[in-house]
Amino acid sequence: MASRNAIRIETALFEDDGRVPNSRLPTIIYRSAIEPDENDPASAFERKFAQNDWRGSWRWSIFTFHHYHSTSHEVLGIAVGHATLRLGGRKGREFEVRAGDVIALPAGTGHKRVASSPGFLVVGAYPEGRERDLIKPYAASRSAHDAALARIAAVPAPKFDPVQGREGAVARLWKR
């Protein structure tokens, strides 16, 4: 595992664009947060997320269309490769991520994969294994945005940071 001191934390805030609500809570990007296992790169992320009660994990990629979740926060751990992600919807920004990085997305934050290396692999999970929905904001009616706002407001703050546990960045930065 990467040492706690080696982790660099970046944050980003995105405005509601009328289709993607985003969040008043910052997206948190942990650089070099978790060292992928040599034989099974995703397992290090699964173990760390489960240790911090982010469950319901999956292994795959990130959709290439804009989407967000209105019923749960989400964590994405980059296990293999590198990618360009657009966070915050069409009016958001692009971020380069690579193996070892982790992204904590507050409920409502738009995200999509713009480009990636061959074999790009992500581990995703949700605080306390919460159920999540999938909203495609530019394919849905504008009323979908308004209906999502109440669901997003009701999503509880996670008890633990997915990487750093009880005292991590989520605990400090996602206070309601």
The pLDDT of residue 4 is above 50 = no
Q: Is residue 133 part of a domain?
A: yes
Q: Is residue 36 part of a domain?
A: yes
Q: Higher confidence at residue 1 or residue 123? A: 123
Q: Is residue 175 part of a domain?
A: no
Q: What is the pLDDT of residues 135-157, one digit of tens each?
A: 999 998 888 999 999 999 999 99
Tell me, what CATH number does 32's domain have?
2.60.120.10
Q: Is residue 25 part of a domain?
A: yes
Residue 175 — very low, low, confident or very high, per pLDDT cuts 50/70/90?
confident
Written in H, E and C, the secondary structure of the chain is CCCHHHCEEEEEEECCCCCCCCEEEEEEEEECCCCCCCCCHHHHHHHHHHHCCEEEEEEECCCCCCEECCCCCEEEEEEECEEEEEECCCCCEEEEEECCCEEEECCCCCEEEEEECCCCEEEEEEECCCCCCCECCCCCCHHHHHHHHHHHHHCCCCCCECCCECCCHHHHHCCC
Number of domains in the chain: 1
Q: Is residue 111 part of a domain?
A: yes
Q: What is the pLDDT of residues 31-75, one digit of tens each?
A: 999 999 999 999 999 999 999 999 999 999 999 999 999 999 999
Q: Which domain holds residue 158?
A: 4-169
pTM score of the predicted model? 0.95
Q: Is residue 72 part of a domain?
A: yes
Q: Is residue 174 part of a domain?
A: no
What's the average model confidence in pLDDT over 79-95? 98
Q: Is residue 176 part of a domain?
A: no
